[in-house]
Amino acid sequence: MELLLKNVSAGYGSEKVLRDIDLSISDGETVFIGGRNGTGKTTLLRVMSGLMEYEGSVTIGGNDISKMKRKSVARLIALMPQASEMYFQYTCFQTVLLGRFARSKNVFGSFTHEDREAAKTAMEICGVYEYRDRLLNELSGGQLQRVLLARTFAQGTPFVLLDEPGSNLDIKYRAELCDYLCKWAQGKTSTPYGELKNTVVAVFHDLGQARSVCGRTVFLKDGKVFADGPSSKVITPECLESVYDFDVAGYIDRQVIIH
Amino acid sequence: MIRERFVKSNMKTGRTAGIGIALSLAVCLFILLAAIRAGSVYISLADLMKIIASHITGSPLPAEVDPMNDSIFWTIRMPRAITAFLVGGVLSVSGAVMQAVLQNPLASSYTLGVSSGASLGAALVLLCGFTVAGLEGIMLPLAGFVMGLLTVTFAILLASRIDRSVSDQTIVLIGMILSLFVTGIMNFMMTFYSDRSKQLWLWMTGSFSARNWNHCAILTVAGIIGLVILMMLSGQLDILTFGELQASSMGVEVKKTKIIAILVCSLLTGVSVAFSGVIGFIDLAAPHIVRRIFGPSHKVVIPMSFVYGGAFMALCDLASRTLLSPREIPVGAVTALVGAPFFAYVFFAKGRRKA
The dihedral through the CA atoms of B256, B257, B259, B260 has a sign that is positive
Q: How many residues are recorded in chain B?
A: 355
Query: pLDDT (tens digit, 9 = 90+) per residue, A32-69?
Result: 999 999 899 999 999 999 999 999 999 999 999 999 99
Is the domain of A134 the same as that of A188? no
In a domain, A246, yes or no: no
B239/A133 Cβ within 8 A? no
Please check whether residues A170 and A227 belong to one and the same domain.
Answer: yes
Distance CA(B81)–CA(A125), nearest Å, equals: 53
Cβ B238–A79 below 8 Å, yes or no? no
pLDDT tens, residue by residue, A69-95 = 999 999 999 999 988 888 888 999 999
Q: Of the residues A94, A128, A156, which one is the last residue of a structural domain?
A: A156
Nearest to A96 by CA among A76, A116, A75, A78: A116
The domains found in chain B, sorted by start residue, are 79-354 (1.10.3470.10)
Considering only CB atoms, A132 lies closest to which of B11, B249, B253, namely B11
Three-state SS for A124-142 is HHCCCHHHCCCEHHHCCHH
Name which of B176, B196, B185, B209 is nearest B119 in CA terms: B185
Work out the burial of residue A223: count CB atoms within 10 Å of its CB; fewer than 13 is exposed, 13-18 middle, 19 or more buried.
buried
3-state DSSP call for residue B344? helix
Q: Is A67 helix (H, G, I), strand (E, B) or coil?
A: coil
3-state secondary structure A159-220: EEEEECCCCCCCHHHHHHHHHHHHHHCCCEEEECCEEEECEEEEECCCHHHHHHHCCEEEEE
Residue A99 within any structural domain of the chain: yes
Q: Which of A125, A156, A187 is the last residue of a domain?
A: A156
Tell me the Ramachandran region of residue B289: left when phi exceeds 0, alpha when psi lies from -120 to 50, beta otherwise: alpha
Report the C-alpha gap between B84 and B215 in whole angstroms: 10
Nearest of B23, B78, B88 to residue B54 by alpha carbon: B78
Contact yes or no for A74 and B250 at CB 8 A: yes
Q: Between these two residues, B127 and A100, which has the higher pLDDT value?
A: A100
Residue A50 · residue A66 · CB < 8 Å: yes
The CA distance from B243 to B150, in Å, is: 28
For B12, nearest residue in chain A (alpha carbons): A133
CA distance B26 to B37: 16
Same domain, A140 and A205: no
- Do B209 and B144 form a contact (C-beta atoms < 8 A)? no
| pLDDT of the residue at B310 | 94
The region, left, alpha or beta by phi > 0 then psi within -120 to 50, assigned to residue B58 is: left
Q: What is the pLDDT of residues A167-226, one digit of tens each?
A: 888 888 888 889 889 989 998 998 888 899 999 999 998 888 899 999 999 999 999 999
Let me know if residue A61 belongs to a domain.
yes
A150 and A114 belong to one structural domain: yes
Show which residues on chain A lie within 8 Å of chain B, measured between beta carbons: 46, 49, 51, 69-71, 73-75, 77-79, 81, 84-91, 93-95, 98-99, 101-102, 104, 107-110, 132-133, 135, 155
Please indicate, yes or no, whether residues A55 and A163 belong to a single structural domain of this protein. yes
A134-177 pLDDT, tens digit per residue, is 999 888 888 899 999 999 999 999 999 999 988 888 888 888 88
Q: Do A101 and B250 touch (CB under 8 A)?
A: yes
For residue B75, what is the DSSP state? Answer: I
Measured between beta carbons, the chain A residues lying within 8 angstroms of B1 are: none
Residues of A within 8 A of B8 (CB-CB) are 91, 133
| Domain, as residue range, for A92 | 84-156
| Judgement on whether residues A44 and A170 belong to the same structural domain of the protein | yes
**Are residues B78 and B34 in contact, defined by beta-carbon separation less than 8 angstroms?**
no
Q: Yes or no: say if A204 and A164 are a contact pair by the CB < 8 Å rule.
A: yes
How many Å apart are CA B65 and CA B42, to the nearest integer? Answer: 13
For position A67, what pLDDT does the model report?
A: 93
Which residues in chain B are contacts of A69 at CB distance < 8 A? 253
Task: Report the residue from B246, B250, B296 with minimal CB separation from A89.
Answer: B296
Q: Which residues pair with A32 in a beta bridge?
A: A202, A217
pLDDT tens for chain B, residues 1 to 355:
444 444 444 443 456 778 888 999 999 999 998 888 887 788 888 888 888 888 888 888 888 888 888 888 888 889 999 999 999 999 999 999 999 998 888 888 788 888 889 889 888 888 888 888 877 777 888 888 888 889 988 988 888 888 877 788 888 899 889 999 998 998 888 888 888 888 888 888 788 887 888 888 989 999 999 999 999 999 999 999 998 899 999 999 998 999 899 989 988 998 888 888 888 888 888 998 898 889 899 999 999 999 999 999 999 999 888 888 788 888 888 888 877 786 677 667 655 443 3
pLDDT of B8 reads 46
Please tell me the total count of domains within chain A: 2
* CA B324/CA B46 separation, integer angstroms: 28
**C-alpha span between A127 and A53 (Å, rounded):** 35
Q: Model pTM?
A: 0.88
- Residue B10's pLDDT is 44
* Interface contact flag, A51 B100, Cβ < 8 Å: no
* CATH code assigned at A174: 3.40.50.300
The predicted structure's pLDDT at residue B122:
86
Question: pLDDT tens digits for B75-119?
Answer: 888 999 999 999 999 999 999 999 999 888 888 878 888 888 988
Cα A93 to Cα A113: distance, rounded to the nearest angstrom = 14
Do A125 and A19 lie in one domain? The reply is no
d(CA B77, CA B83): 10
Whether A166 and A72 map to the same domain: the answer is yes
How confident is the model at residue B72, as a pLDDT?
Answer: 86
Residue A186 lies in a domain: yes
Q: Note whether residue A102 is domain-resident.
A: yes
Helix or strand run (H / E) with residue A224: strand A224-230
Q: Tell me, yes or no, whether A252 lies in a domain.
A: no
Question: Are A142 and A204 members of one domain?
Answer: no
pLDDT at position B343 is 64
Sequence-distant (6+) residues with CB within 8 A of B139 are: B125, B130, B131, B132
Q: Which residues of A touch B242 (CB under 8 A)?
A: 84-87, 95, 98
What is the C-alpha to C-alpha distance for residues A96 and A79, in angstroms, rounded to an integer?
13
On whether the CB atoms of residues A82 and A76 are closer than 8 A, the answer is no
Q: Is B114 within 8 Å of B309 (Cβ atoms)?
A: no
Hey, are the CB atoms on B296 and A90 less than 8 Å from each other?
Answer: yes
Q: CA-CA distances (angstroms) from residue B331 to B19, B87, B262?
A: 31, 12, 26
The residue ranking higher by pLDDT, B292 or A23, is: A23
* Shortest Cα distance, chain B CAs vs residue A206, angstroms: 24
Nearest to A199 by CA among A177, A179, A215, A219: A215
Q: Do A135 and A117 fall into the same domain?
A: yes
Q: Report yes or no on A247 lying in a domain.
A: no
Q: Are residues A218 and A168 in the same domain?
A: yes
Domain end call among A111, A129, A156? A156
Q: Same domain, yes or no, for A184 and A115? A: no
